[in-house]
Structure formats: C-alpha cells, structure tokens
Structure 1
Amino acid sequence: MFPVGIDVSKNTLDLCILYDGIKGRIKPRNIQNNRHSVENILRWLRLQHCGPEDVHVVMEATGVYHERLATELHDAGFRVSLANPHRSREFARGMGIMTKTDKVDAYMLACYAFLKKPHHWEPPAPEIRYLGALLRRRDVLLGDALREENRLEKYLSTDTPAGGADRETLRHIGPEPTADVENRPPSVESEALHVRPVRKNLQ
C-alpha cells in the first residue's frame, strides 16, 4: 500500500505519493480543491497505476477544509487517516523538516503514513453530520443577528440627522434580531433526539 500525503488548503490540494519508502521515489501533484477533487485524484492515481485500494491517504485534521475531502475519499473506497496537526509538526521536527510549505507538508504527511501507519478514519454517520451542519448554521445566524443588533443600538444611541419618527420606526421594526434565531433550538433539539440513538450505536 503506497502512502499518500495531502496538504489541504482552501483553494488547492498538494499531494505526494511515496513509491519506495521515505528515501525512495516520490511523485508530487497539485490540484484545485473543488467538487471535482476526488475525481481528479482518482485520475492522477490511475496514471500512477494505482487505485483507491492501493494507497493510504493521510491529511491533517484542520477544520472545515479537510472534512468534505476526507469524507468523499472514504466514500470512494480510500483508506483515510487524519493526523493531529500538533503531532505531525513534532514528527516533522523529528525528521529534521523545518521548512513549511504545502508541497513539503504533503511529503511529510506521506512519510507520516509510511512510518506511523495511523489508524483508519471513519466519517460520522450522516445524521451526525447533518446535526453538526445545523448547529454551525445556527451559530452563524446568531453571530449575524448580534452584529445587526449592535449596529442598530449604535445608530439609535448617536446623534444622527434622522428624526424621532425614524428612530421610533426602527425601534418597532419587530422583536430583537436574535429572538427568532434563539427560538430555533427546539427544532435543533428534536434533531439531536433523533440522532442520539444513532450515536449510541456508534460507540
């Protein structure tokens, strides 16, 4: 099984495959990070006479950028592992790799796959992912509502050319901007209740 390191950024993916261990031949590749990424990775691997079953992919768990790619690679039949960024940095220092570029990081992660052989990662169940997306969206809406609330408060507290009638209109636009969003948790809670039995089955 050939180790493949992938450094994930917002717009690009840097890949590196090791053919003969850390001292042997390597093959780097840079592709766009978009909805065609997995298809392009498969095409690149076919040129190397490899398929999903022939490689072990390692990437760092860096938040939103890695989640979609890791899940899609897993669903396409790849063995995927996620490296803790702190541990992979320590590993790089132990190898004497002090330079930090996307290309170097991809090589380092391929070496990490070869030497450490991290365990196989399994994505959360679709229900768990859906709940996580709901909660993240709720956080975004609460943040947006709070910013608008602060802007309105600042406007009403400053001396502006607007007349008193305009201020009264603004005050009576409706309930506080966050009220509607804050009243949403019951629906999120109902999703959580639906998901909890699934989570128990996963443990």
Structure 2
Amino acid sequence: MDHPTLPYTHIIGIDAASQKFDVSWLKDRNKHTYRSKVLENNPAGCLKLLECIRKNITTNLTTVHIIMEATGVYHELLAYFLNDQGVAVSIVNPAYIHSYAQSLGAVHKTDKGDSQIIARFGAERNPAIWQPEPKSVRELKAKLNRLDALKPDLQREDNRLHVAQISGVPDEVILSIHQIRQALTQSIADLEHDMDDHINRHPDLKNDVALLQTIACVGRETSTRMEVLYRSKQFTKASQMTAFLGL
C-alpha cells in the first residue's frame, strides 16, 4: 500500500461528507499542527480549495498530496476534480484510517479530528496515489448505477399494482401505476441499449466484455458489471479481486 518517499511537501487530509468536506493541512509534521477549513461539497467548494492551495504554496501543485477516505460517493467529486488539476490524490480504505487512529489513541471522533488523522496518516504512510478509471469506464459506471436505481423502482410499482388490483382502488389509480411502470420500463430499456452502444463504441470495453461472456453463465449484464468493477478498482492480481468479492 505504501510508496517510497516522494517529494510531497504539502500534506492535506480531507474528510468528505454529503454536504461538506473538512480540510486539515499538516503544517508541522513533528508538532502535528494543522490549518483547518470547512468547505461545501460542491463544484464551488472544490474551486475554493484549489484557490486556497495555490495561495499558500510557493511551488507547483505537484508538491501537494491530498489524502481522503473512501466514503461512499461523497469523496468522488473532489477527487476527480483534483486529479484533473494534476494534484496527487490518495483514497484510503476507512478501515486503515480507523486502525491508525486507534494506534494513536484517538478516541474522540469529530470531522475536524478525522481530517487531521487522515493527514497524519498520509504523512507517515505515504499511501498509493489514486489512478482514476478512464472516462469511458466512469460513464459506463454511471449508467449502470442509474439502472440499479430504476429497477427497484419498477419492482415497487409492480408490488403497488398487485395490491391495487386486489383492493378495489379506483381505475384512475390503476392507470397511474401503469403509466409509471411504462415510463420506468422504457427508461430501463433505453439505458440498457445505451450501455450496449457505449461498450460497442469503445474497443477495449467491447473486447473485455466479449471475453467475459465466454465464461459459462456470464451474460451481458454480469459481464458489464464485472468489467466496471475490474476497471474501477486498482487490482494488480486476480486474488485481490477475488478477495474483494468475498469469494
């Protein structure tokens, strides 16, 4: 997980949440002093952080190392933004941060304290630099996530229709359910078609998915999910992916 020492002179820990992110800039590695800031977790907040960094360094952005926890999707906006700006970003498993905090005897959990622990972890452990998936994979993942959101909605409407049909509700209610079901069914079909088209327009995705479908019982949807998982995670060997899947 750790890398050899790199010339990062500015270490910043960030604890991201749905609405905000807490920033702790490690100013003194020996005394563990920090400069802290809270920004909104939106594009404007990302820009403010970048402006703050640029104002407070005399070198270029390649000397800055940002360390973040993998917090669902809350860290993604800032991580992709910083990566696009050429800033080194590490995204660390929260379990590692938790274990590290325990080793320091840090028991009082606050967002500010968490970001300080993350910064200190980054300075001491120098975690691997995050390599985001290609844009083609990122877009495919977004479509797949949307599909995963729509399918439960359709199932809920199916359940509502079943209940409505046996409970004697007005015809207008039945019609409303049918209309929502029709819209969801069409949206799901459109997304599936769009995903197929997306894969076919990117030779690397098309080749990988085709190879995966040569495996017994692996069809279109499973192969797509496997491809997105593999290309989204930084697996270096098959056993890592197997362990991630719990197999």
> Which category of TM-score, normalised to the shorter sequence, fits these structures?
0.7 to 0.9
Q: Indicate the residue corresponding to 1:79 in structure 2.
A: 88
Query: Post-superposition shift, 1:172?
Result: 10
Q: Please say which of residues 44-53 and 108-117 is displaced more in the overlay.
A: 44-53
Q: How far apart, in 1, do the equivalents of 2:166 and 2:46 lie?
A: 53
Matched, 1:121 2:130: yes
Would the alpha carbon gap of residues 94 and 193 (structure 1) be closer, same or farther in structure 2, given more than 3 Å must change? farther
Letter in 1 for 2:186: D
What TM-score does the superposition give when structure 1 sets the normalisation length? 0.85
Contact 1:83/1:118 (8 A) holds in 2: yes
Identity %: 29
Bigger relative contact order (CA 8 A; separation at least 6): 1
Length, aligned pairs only: 198
Aligned equivalent of 2:71 = 62
Which residue does the alignment assign to 2:144? 135
Partner of 1:26: 34
Q: CA deviation at 1:148?
A: 1.8
Q: CA deviation at 1:77?
A: 1.4
Gaps of 5+ in 1: none
* Shift in Å, 1:60: 0.5
Corresponding residue of 2:17: 9
CA RMSD of aligned residues (A): 2.8
Q: Where does residue 194 of structure 2 map in the other structure?
A: 187
Residue of structure 2 in register with 1:40 after alignment: 48
Contact persistence 2:25–2:119 (CA under 8 A) = yes
Counterpart of 1:94 in structure 2: which amino acid?
Answer: S
Q: What secondary structure sits across from 2:75 in the alignment?
A: helix
| SS of corresponding position for 1:36 | helix
Larger gyration radius, structure 1 or structure 2: 1
Q: CA deviation at 1:193?
A: 4.1
Measured at CA, do residues 158 and 85 of structure 1 come closer, stay the same or move farther in structure 2, by a change above 3 Å? same
Contact 1:4–1:18, Cα closer than 8 Å, also in 2: yes
Instruction: Report SS of the residue matched to 2:43.
Output: coil
TM-score by length of 2: 0.71
User: Matches of residues 82-97 of structure 1 in structure 2 within 5 Å?
Assistant: 82-97=91-106
Q: How does 1:162-173 map to 2 (within 5 A)?
A: 162=170, 166=171, 170=175, 173=178
